[in-house]
Amino acid sequence: MIVRQPFAAVTGSALALALGACAASETGGPESSAAAPDFVARCAALQGRTDDMFGTVESAALGPAEFTGQQFFLPTPIALPRHCEIIGAFPSRDGAQGQKYAIRYHLRLPEGWNGRFLFQGGGGLNGVLGDAMGWTGAGQQPGIVQGYAVVSQDSGHDKQANSDPDWGGEAVFGSDPEARRNYGNGALPVVADAAKTLIRAFYGSDARYSYFFGCSKGGQEGMAFAQRYPDTFDGIVAIAPGMSLPRAAVAQTWDVQSFARLWDPAKGALTPASFATLFSPSDFDLVRQAVGAACDGLDGADDGLIGNFMQCTSARVLSELRKRECGAGNSGACLATDKVDALNRSLEGPHDAQGKPIYASWRWDMGIGSPGWAMWKLGNPQMPSLNILTGGASLPTVFMTPPRAVRGDPQSLLDFQMAFKFPQDADAIYATAPGWPRSAWQDVGMRSADLDGFRKHGGKLIVPHGVSDPVFSINDTIAWRDDVDSRYHGDADSTVRVFPVPGMNHCGGGPATGRYDAFAALVNWVEKGNAPQAIVATAGADTPWPGRTRPLCAYPKMVRYRGAGSIEQAENFECVDS
């Protein structure tokens, strides 16, 4: 475990001594970095510096002039401002299964700094350093281009170096108690403090405002900061937050078993490839027809989006699905009854022995069966189900205590999920054991309604979430927001706003107006006090209606057509009580 002084306790003189400047003597005596006029030299002077607060600066040099890597719907290359690019690491240690672990981070410090700091969240099982570009949504300019100092981090393990085929492949870190804690939340304050320390030393002042932006596991990290490290950030965007990750992994296994009921054992053993064939695209066309017939018009417009999704109940949808079942007077395309039952079982989610949900149920929505939904729930001809690949690896190795060794190939992961016993095996996500003083839920679960510290700090939290998210249920996010509202006697909105995105899959995709600037709304809220009532969103080129706009309404408001004007324009819709 890394032990450091609290960030606020480190003095300016201590920083100057620790970081030095561009002209250190041969004996290592540094000069003040603030006195060094040359940006490149000041950057290079950080190379090799070591301190309890930021570990060791492994490299510090002028960053590239353009970015050509993976990005979010922007023309490439992306021109970058002149900036200092830093790779840092904290001391490594020996861990379980012969693995070595260390927390590493990636920091970019622009010459034209805007006085703000942005922490870029991770994703999945993490284990990658991240590009520290400061992505803030589809089509939005990255934070580094906007002048933010940006950091990303690997959460204490490297998925390339830390991999063991007998322990879920890259999930092997879950077999080490400290590595699991660092993944869940422990690495977050370490990296945030490191970045803030280097920012103060490099620029001679603290950031005026500090922000976090992330989706999925990155959203879970945002929740961790708000709940456990509430003084770290002024504002957080946590999209589709995996705040209930261990429970969601159990739900992934429930999904696998629910759909596997459709497999005919006479055809042989179930494989990941055959699992992907259990529903066809035409099956999902019929599902969406039924969902649309039941719920599309509830918002006043038949437009392929279910704006009033809270009124789209299972009773409404199942009535329409039953009309499309084979043998219900249908002579053409139809749905097998067992497929309707399997889908409904999946969306109901698993329950414990007392009938209480282990995770959450899911919404009926127009994104069900879309490519971004199906790749998780079932897979496709090119790739096995992500519920198998990620859920099958993470549940036994990361989220159960003690961890179970399961081979990381897709068939072994599927076999583990099929052998999982409901509901009793789910108790392991709350268990402790010798050498494991904390459960996976304590390490990784970030679903507390206690935002006392964050509210006292004056922090603001924006939580967009796709209604057709196949990984983390919007019902869980809404229930959490309702818990927050209850805790603060109807005053959740002064701190947190949840923005459902009808049709959107996990972090993006799906038939949705899924391009929006939640980060700009957050900055406006934090710095100007303008709390967002709605965020205008645009449909991308991969949707049936490129360029369509809609207001994303802050829950519990729902979007409704005003009754006149083009249904392609946001101004013809309003946010109303559902």
User: Measuring CA to CA, which residue among 222, 225, 249 is closest to residue 403?
Assistant: 249
Work out the angle at residue 460's Cα, subtended by the Cα atoms of residues 454 and 466, and round it to the nearest 5 degrees. Answer: 115
**pLDDT (0 to 100) of residue 37:** 58
- What pTM does this model have? 0.94
Enter the tokens of residue 424. Answer: 């009793």
Whole-number Å distance between alpha carbons of 578 and 311: 8
Residue 328: pLDDT band by 50, 70, 90 thresholds? low
Q: Are 359 and 426 in contact (CB under 8 A)?
A: no
Say whether 469 is catalytic. Answer: yes
- pLDDT digits 0-9 by tens, 403-432: 999 999 999 999 999 999 999 999 999 999
- For the cut 80, the answer to whether the pLDDT of residue 31 exceeds it is no
Q: How far apart are CA 366 and CA 292, in angstroms?
A: 7
The CA-atom distances, in angstroms, between 419 and each of 223, 254, 260, 351 are 32, 11, 12, 17
3-state secondary structure at position 62: strand
Average pLDDT over residues 170-185: 97
Q: What percentage of the chain reaches a pLDDT higher than 90?
A: 90
pLDDT score recorded for residue 319? 97
Task: From the candidates 155, 473, 506, 517, give the one annotated as an active-site residue.
Answer: 506
Residue 73 is predicted with a pLDDT of 67
Q: What is the pLDDT of residue 4?
A: 54
**Strand 557-561 to 573-577 pairing:** antiparallel
The pLDDT value given to residue 13: 35
- Contact at 8 Å (CB) between 398 and 440? yes
Beta strands in 427-487 (DSSP E): 460-466
Q: What does the pLDDT average to over 88-97?
A: 96
Q: How confident is the model at residue 138 (pLDDT cuts 50, 70, 90)?
A: confident
- Which of 3-7, 35-39, 495-499, 532-536 is the least confident region? 3-7
Name the token pair of 305: 């989006």
Which residue out of 216, 258, 346, 385 is catalytically annotated? 216
Q: How far is CA 466 from CA 43, 66, 75, 193, 499, in A?
A: 41, 32, 25, 32, 9
Strand-strand pairing, 55-62 and 83-89: antiparallel
Residue 267 has pLDDT above 50, yes or no: yes
DSSP 8-60: GG--HHHHHHHH--S---TT-PPPPGGG---HHHHHHTTTT-EETTTEEEEEE
Model pLDDT for residues 332-376, shown as the tens digit of each residue:
899 999 999 999 999 999 999 999 999 999 999 999 999 999 999
Q: Is 383 helix (H, G, I), strand (E, B) or coil?
A: strand
Q: Give the DSSP per-residue string, 402-439.
A: S------SHHHHHHHHHHPPTTGGGGGGG--BTTB-S-
- 385 catalytically annotated: no
φ, ψ of residue 94 in degrees (nearest 5): -85, 135
* Cα end-to-end span (Å), the chain: 48
- Rounded CA gap, 246 and 254, in Å? 13
CA distance 18 to 503: 51
The reply to whether 206 belongs to the active site is no
Q: Is the pLDDT higher at 30 or at 67?
A: 67
User: Mean per-residue pLDDT for 263-281?
Assistant: 96
Are the C-beta atoms of 146 and 237 separated by less than 8 Å?
A: no
Predicted confidence (pLDDT) at residue 276 exceeds the cutoff of 70: yes
Asked if residues 436 and 177 have their Cβ atoms less than 8 Å apart, the reply is yes
CB-based contact 549:572 (threshold 8 Å): no
Calculate the average pLDDT of the chain.
Answer: 93
Per-residue model confidence (pLDDT) at position 358: 98
d(CA 119, CA 122): 10
Task: Report the sign of the C-alpha dihedral through residues 243, 248, 249, 250, in that order.
Answer: positive
What pLDDT sits at residue 75? 74
Position 34 confidence tier, pLDDT thresholds 50, 70, 90: very low
Q: Are strands 515-516 and 534-538 parallel, antiparallel or unpaired?
A: antiparallel
Question: What confidence tier does 72 reach under pLDDT thresholds 50, 70, 90?
Answer: low
The Cα 300–Cα 559 span in angstroms is 9
Running DSSP on this structure, what letter comes out for residue 300? Answer: S
pLDDT at 447 over 60: yes
Please state, in angstroms and rounded to a whole number, the distance separating the CA atoms of residues 402 and 409.
Answer: 21
Lowest mean pLDDT among 30-39, 41-50, 218-227, 565-574: 30-39
Enter the tokens of residue 553. Answer: 């309404």
Question: pLDDT tens for residues 93-134?
Answer: 999 999 999 999 999 999 999 999 999 999 999 999 999 999
Question: Which of the residues 193, 296, 443, 469 is marked catalytic?
Answer: 469
Residue 28 scores a pLDDT above 80 = no
Q: pLDDT, tens digit, for every residue of 466-476?
A: 999 999 999 99
Phi-psi region of 55 (alpha: psi -120 to 50; beta: other; left: phi over 0): left
Task: Pick left, alpha or beta for residue 88 (phi over 0 → left; psi -120 to 50 → alpha; otherwise beta).
Answer: beta
Q: How far apart are CA 155 and CA 101, in angstroms?
A: 10
Token couple for 295: 């719920």
- Other beta carbons within 10 angstroms of residue 529's beta carbon come to 8
Cα 384–Cα 371–Cα 506 angle in degrees, nearest 5: 90
For residues 198 and 19, the answer to whether their CB atoms sit within 8 Å is yes
Higher pLDDT, 22 or 252: 252
Phi, psi of 530 (to 5 degrees): -95, 95
8-state DSSP, 351: B
pLDDT at 327: 83
For the chain, how many helices (H) and strands (E)? 19, 21
